[in-house]
Amino acid sequence: MLFFARHTTRAALPRTLSRRTAAIRVASTPLLRNQLNPVLKIRQFSVMSSSMMSAPASIVKQNVRPEPDQVLQDIADYVHNYEITSRLAWETARLCLIDTLGCGLEALNFEQCTNLLGPVVEGTTVPNGTRVPGTPYQLDPIRGAFNIGTAIRWLDYNDCWLAAEWGHPSDNLGGILAVADWLARTNKAKGLSAPKVKDVLEAMVKAHEIQGCLALENSFNRVGLDHVVLVKVATTAVVSKMLGLNREQTIDAVSQAWVDGQSLRTYRHVPNTMSRKSWAAGDACSRAVNLALLVKSGVGGIPSVLTAKTWGFYDVLFKSQGFKFQRPYGSYVMENVLFKISYPAEFHSQTACEAAMTLHHELKKIGKTTDDIASIRIRTQEAAIRIIDKKGPLNNYADRDHCIQYMVAVPLIYGRLTTQDYSDEVASDPRIDALREKMECVEDKTYSLEYHAPDKRSIGNAIQITLKDGTVMDEVAVEYPVGHKLRRDEGIPLLLEKFERHVTKRLGKERFDAIMGASKELDGISEKDVDEYVDLYVTKE
């Protein structure tokens, strides 16, 4: 009750009026002149005229503070009370942690990414601040979250979740690790205990679950919103607990995440595709940490932020529709998350890239090249048609890694698809655009249905090539990418190879051996202090 009374007090005083002005007006009202309690005065203060105060109740909107929306309560209850008992979830979180950090290290090889990193004011170092893996930076946790989150997402190579809404749940590590590392260093400076890597893994499982369960049945993209709104919400929720906020404060913080201005998807689609899609998650992580810290400092919440008539999220941004849920929060999303292992490509194209690689070798076997191709037919899911079926000129890296035709053409021509293959140098090869012109994407209804089926969650693509001499090659179909749960045993060794490539390239073999030694067993990594683990990744310059 104290929680709601506190907010009733705040809501009653318009921000444009000072307490002194309010007191003067209260004193001039006969009914309230003798009320001496200043808090009571504020509660009973009204800016309505006397005629309005006597108006029928049907005209006057009652300012009754509501209970928090159930969605907010469910998220807070899950974060504070749910115990993760799934060994699969813990093990997958360990793999997800190292894979995500590896993706961030690989991104540091790209100047367009590193230009955005570091402190806002050059040369600033925060004592006991967040360390940014692969760099010498030591930042406040808000800026640290932006740095880590941006590096993680830059190459579109970290994990993926596909449902009614798409996204990359490991984006949340940007905020989680920034806060955990900062807390570890500040706590130790005060002689207190530091968070363990186990706390990071728990926050990852829960952030994955919040983002993923909200995405299962609710399409933010269909109303033009970017999926990073879910990163902001999920990160806010889990870092609130890490910062010591209680259930009610966590509800406040999550409500602030929903009311915060939401990103539009336009930077992911023609004709506006650009690099913001690579730092949008970092931005969401930094906003989440900022909001949680504001609530820790005393900022309140918006209890009906979703359901408020006219002004709430549902009415303003979600076509007046409430959220739907397929399942309660648990550990389902981490257990079923998709790893990007084989190719740094938008996930709806992963199986198409694999099929294209197979066809590259088939062409070689019959003595043909892509110059001999007359047409290419790609059967795919509806989501791929909407996101990555792209005609016309491709203007930049961001354009290319979200074009299924480009991501099929490169492996057909070269027998590979790497991060460097989205560069201007590779894209200038005239064979790529010539091959793109020969491609047609068609929706396969079965692929679209099985994409959403909880027991399948497939991401199917099939490619058929017709040659100029009239030969129709056998169609190559791939329903599940290597990073899918159904191919996990096949994928884990490849995931570790990917991690080794990324770490060794940036930090060297000796450092990789130290990191892998600390990371290879769940029990071992779980008990390490966060700052000590992060120190394995940082550099002096």
pLDDT in tens, 127-175: 999 999 999 999 999 999 999 999 999 999 999 999 999 999 999 999 9
Q: Helices (H) and strands (E) in the chain — how many of each?
A: 26, 8
Cβ neighbours, 10 Å, residue 319: 9
Count of other CB atoms within 10 angstroms of residue 355: 25
200-238 pLDDT tens trace: 999 999 999 999 999 999 999 999 999 999 999 999 999
Least confident span in 30-44, 173-187, 393-407: 30-44
pLDDT over threshold 80, residue 386: yes
Of 89, 331, 291, 84, give the one whose Cα is nearest residue 175: 291
- Domains of the chain in start order, with CATH, are 70-341+531-536 (1.10.4100.10), 347-478 (3.30.1330.120)
Q: What is the distance, to the nearest Å, from the Cα of residue 536 to the centroid of all Cα atoms in its chain?
A: 25
Helix (H) / strand (E) element for 245: namely: none
- Where residue 9 falls among pLDDT bands split at 50, 70, 90? very low
Strand, coil or helix: what is 469?
A: coil
pTM of the model: 0.84
Q: How many CB atoms lie within 10 A of CB 482?
A: 21
